[in-house]
């Protein structure tokens, strides 16, 4: 056990997730690579944790942060803050939400907390609809509505949560249905649920479940849900913490895969926008956002140093069409991994969109989750210089691939070759 690991164990919580039998300290990064305290260079196929959206140590972001740090780090939202206004303008416009207002937080959890506060206040209801197997964060209310109960056996949340079918395509009673039948079954389930509840405030859903193993419903599910929700005045909160900013290639936001549903009433974001700086936030129609009483602040939300990073990062993403890169390079990577998987009974499915790719492992010949194999693949990939992620809670048998969106074709091929060997070493 390294000295730092021993000190980590002595002072940090046991439940703090830490990868690898011999945990790695990352000392620095550049582009799609990071370096470890072992002196080795690693290709980062998890982008921090979907946080390094463009690239490690992107010069444009470093410059913006350094210049801002030389002026002021933080002055609080009690004063006008130019970078915050500018980033809000850009996100409001990109969100597709009409008459949008943006509130900045410091994490995805806090963004979802705010969305729940807005929805329950606006609708005067403490009932929330959430998807099975979902993950929305680590606070009392966010973990309370999270469908994947891997984090906490109890939910003492003051919110009453009702869980809806549909977030996971591969498990559950509707698993083997066609797309249209799957959607019809989930909608029927939602209607049935609404037939014997009071009126919930909102449905919160990740367009593609992130921690849940990069699982997604067929395109159009949320459009079909939306019709039912609209009949009851129930709001739709799209949790885009993992799916935003073009990562899925085909679309800028995950909700756009659901076509005619239109934008959500409330959208939450975090992770990639700051390229590692802690930015989260909520976008909502003005009437929803403004339903709270005046004079609320988030002490560190929208702080100048993070906003400067967000602006530079977003500009780089848009100017270099990284969504298009995610579509092209991600498409090649998915194709390559599917070809590998076809030879390996331990792989149940390679799924995903753009640079958000899941590889689900099972005990060969069964449908049984195989977390040991996933852990072994993580170690084998690391041994060859590749860092990947895996699902959380009850989804640790799914490998997760989500590199920075600047990934090149050569790097995708290098990573795929390592994954091929790593996957081939487990049974
Ligand atoms: N929502 C989703 C979909 C997430 O994946 C996460 C984190 O993984 C969160 C919310 C919580 O975000 P944070 O860890 O920044 O609080």
pLDDT band at 171 (very low <50, low <70, confident <90, very high): confident
Tell me which of 109, 113, 243, 389 to substitute to probe ligand 1's pocket, judged by most ligand atoms within 8 Å of the beta carbon.
109
Residue 176 in this model has a pLDDT that exceeds 90: no
Ligand 1 centroid–CA 107 distance in Å is 7
Closest CA to 404 of 343, 329, 347: 329
Q: What is the CA radius of gyration of the chain?
A: 21
Among candidate residues 319, 336, 368, the one where a domain is terminated: 319
Cβ pair 146, 140 in contact under 8 A: no
Tell me which of 16, 17, 108 to substitute to probe ligand 1's pocket, judged by most ligand atoms within 8 Å of the beta carbon.
108
Tell me which of 53, 136, 139, 264 to substitute to probe ligand 1's pocket, judged by most ligand atoms within 8 Å of the beta carbon.
136
Mark whether 260 and 386 lie in a shared domain: no
Q: How far is CA 337 from the centre of its chain?
A: 21
Cβ pair 56, 33 in contact under 8 A: yes
Strand partners, 258: none
Q: Is the torsion defined by CA of 148, 179, 172, 157 positive or negative?
A: positive
Q: Nearest 5°: phi and psi at 56?
A: -65, 140
Q: Which pLDDT score, from 0 to 100, does residue 292 have?
A: 92
Query: What are the tens digits of pLDDT across the range 47-103?
Result: 999 999 999 999 999 999 999 999 999 998 899 999 999 999 999 999 999 999 999
Ligand 1 centroid–CA 181 distance in Å is 31
Return the CATH number at 211: 3.40.640.10
Mark whether 19 and 163 lie in a shared domain: no
Mark whether 106 and 185 lie in a shared domain: yes
DSSP state letters, 226-278: HHHHHHHT-EEEEE-TTTTTTTTSS-SSGGGGGGGG-S-SEEEE-GGGGBTB-
Q: How far is CA 141 from CA 102, 157, 255, 292, in A?
A: 21, 6, 23, 18
Beta carbons within 10 angstroms of residue 200's beta carbon: 27
Return the CATH number at 350: 3.90.1150.10
Of 246 and 367, the structure prediction assigns the larger pLDDT to 246
H helix count then E strand count, the chain: 13, 15
pLDDT band at 276 (very low <50, low <70, confident <90, very high): very high
Mark whether 296 and 309 lie in a shared domain: yes
Write the ipTM: 0.99
Give the predicted TM-score (pTM) of the model: 0.97
Length of the chain: 427
Mark whether 192 and 77 lie in a shared domain: yes
Of 157 and 302, the structure prediction assigns the larger pLDDT to 302
Mark whether 42 and 149 lie in a shared domain: no
Among candidate residues 281, 296, 319, the one where a domain is terminated: 319
Instruction: Name the percent of the chain lying above pLDDT 90.
Output: 89
Q: Which pLDDT score, from 0 to 100, does residue 327 have?
A: 98
Mark whether 304 and 335 lie in a shared domain: no
Mean pLDDT, the chain, integer: 95
**Pocket-forming residues, ligand 1, beta carbon under 6 Å:** 107-109, 112, 135-138, 206, 210-211, 239, 241-242, 270, 280
Mark whether 353 and 225 lie in a shared domain: no
Mark whether 239 and 112 lie in a shared domain: yes
Strand partners, 153: none
pLDDT band at 401 (very low <50, low <70, confident <90, very high): very high
User: Ligand 1: which atom is nearest the Cα of residue 139?
Assistant: 16
Residue 390 in this model has a pLDDT that exceeds 80: yes
Q: How many domains does the chain have?
A: 2
User: Ligand 1: which atom is nearest the Cα of residue 270?
Assistant: 15
Q: Which pLDDT score, from 0 to 100, does residue 105 have?
A: 97
d(CA 320, CA 383): 32
Mark whether 25 and 160 lie in a shared domain: no
Q: How deeply is 338 buried, as exposed, middle or buried, from its count of CB atoms within 10 A (0-12, 13-18, 19+)? A: middle
Mark whether 264 and 195 lie in a shared domain: yes
Nearest residue CA, atom 13 of ligand 1?
108
Query: What are the tens digits of pLDDT across the range 114-164?
Result: 999 999 999 999 999 999 999 999 999 999 999 987 777 676 788 999 999
User: Ligand 1: which atom is nearest the Cα of residue 108?
Assistant: 12
The average pLDDT across 280-291 equals 97
Query: What are the tens digits of pLDDT across the range 309-338?
Result: 999 999 999 999 999 999 999 999 999 999
Among candidate residues 290, 319, 348, the one where a domain is terminated: 319
- Output the CA angle 157-161-167, nearest 5 degrees: 125
Phi-psi sector, 358: left (phi>0), alpha (psi -120 to 50), beta: beta
- Distance between first and last Cα of the chain: 28
Range of the domain at 90: 62-319
Ligand 1 centroid–CA 421 distance in Å is 31
User: Ligand 1: which atom is nearest the Cα of residue 210?
Assistant: 5
Q: Which pLDDT score, from 0 to 100, does residue 395 have?
A: 92
Q: Which pLDDT score, from 0 to 100, does residue 282 have?
A: 98
Mark whether 169 and 311 lie in a shared domain: yes
SS3 state at 178 = coil
SS3 state at 215 = strand
Ligand 1 centroid–CA 109 distance in Å is 6
Cβ pair 230, 194 in contact under 8 A: no
User: Per the structure block, which two tokens stand in for 332?
Assistant: 């090649």
Cβ pair 123, 235 in contact under 8 A: yes
Q: Among 153-162, 177-186, 215-224, where is mean pLDDT lowest?
A: 153-162
Q: Which pLDDT score, from 0 to 100, does residue 30 have?
A: 98
pLDDT band at 394 (very low <50, low <70, confident <90, very high): confident
Nearest-10 crossing angle of helices 371-383, 409-424? 130
Ligand 1 centroid–CA 270 distance in Å is 7
Question: In sequence order, what are the residues at sequence separation of 6 or more whose Cβ sits closer than 8 angstroms to the Cβ of residue 141?
Answer: 112, 113, 116, 157, 158, 159
Of 394 and 424, the structure prediction assigns the larger pLDDT to 424
pLDDT band at 369 (very low <50, low <70, confident <90, very high): very high
DSSP state letters, 85-97: HHHHHHHHHHH--
d(CA 190, CA 187): 5
């Amino acid at each position: 056990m390294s000295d730092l690991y021993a000190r980590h164990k002595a002072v940090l919580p046991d439940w703090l997730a830490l990868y690898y039998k011999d945990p790695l300290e990352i000392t620095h990064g550049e582009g799609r690579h990071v370096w470890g305290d072992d002196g080795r260079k690693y290709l980062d196929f998890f982008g921090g944790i979907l946080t390094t959206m463009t690239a490690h140590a992107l010069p444009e972001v470093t410059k913006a942060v350094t210049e801002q740090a030389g002026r002021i780090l933080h002055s609080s939202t009690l004063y006008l803050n130019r970078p915050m206004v500018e980033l809000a303008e850009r996100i409001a416009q990109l969100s597709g939400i009409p008459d949008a207002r943006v509130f900045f937080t410091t994490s995805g959890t806090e963004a979802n907390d705010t969305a729940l506060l807005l929805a329950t206040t606006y609708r005067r209801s403490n009932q929330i609809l959430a998807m099975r197997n979902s993950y929305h964060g680590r606070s009392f209310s966010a973990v309370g509505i999270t469908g994947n109960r891997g984090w906490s056996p109890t939910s003492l949340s003051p919110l009453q949560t009702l869980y809806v079918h549909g977030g996971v395509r591969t498990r559950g009673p509707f698993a083997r249905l066609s797309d249209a039948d799957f959607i019809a079954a989930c909608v029927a389930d939602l209607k049935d649920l609404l037939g014997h509840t009071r009126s919930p405030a909102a449905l919160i859903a990740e367009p593609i479940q992130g921690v849940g193993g990069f699982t997604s419903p067929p395109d159009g599910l949320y459009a079909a849900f939306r019709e039912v929700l609209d009949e009851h005045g129930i709001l739709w909160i799209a949790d885009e913490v993992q799916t935003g900013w073009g990562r899925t290639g085909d679309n800028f936001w995950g909700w756009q895969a659901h076509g005619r549903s239109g934008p959500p009433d409330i959208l939450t974001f975090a992770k990639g926008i700051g390229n590692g700086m802690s930015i989260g936030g909520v976008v909502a129609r003005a009437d929803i956002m403004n339903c709270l009483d005046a004079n609320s602040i988030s002490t560190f939300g929208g702080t100048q140093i993070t906003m400067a990073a967000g602006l530079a990062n977003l500009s780089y993403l848009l100017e270099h069409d990284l969504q298009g890169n995610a579509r092209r390079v991600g498409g090649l990577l998915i194709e390559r991994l599917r070809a590998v998987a076809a030879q390996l009974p331990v792989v149940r499915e390679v799924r995903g969109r753009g640079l958000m790719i899941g590889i689900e492992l099972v005990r060969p010949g069964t449908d049984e989750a195989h977390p040991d194999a996933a852990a072994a693949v993580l170690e084998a990939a690391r041994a060859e210089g590749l860092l990947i992620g895996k699902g959380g809670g009850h989804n640790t048998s799914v490998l997760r691939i989500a590199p920075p969106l600047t990934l090149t074709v050569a790097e995708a091929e290098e990573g795929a070759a390592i994954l091929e060997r790593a996957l081939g070493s487990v049974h």
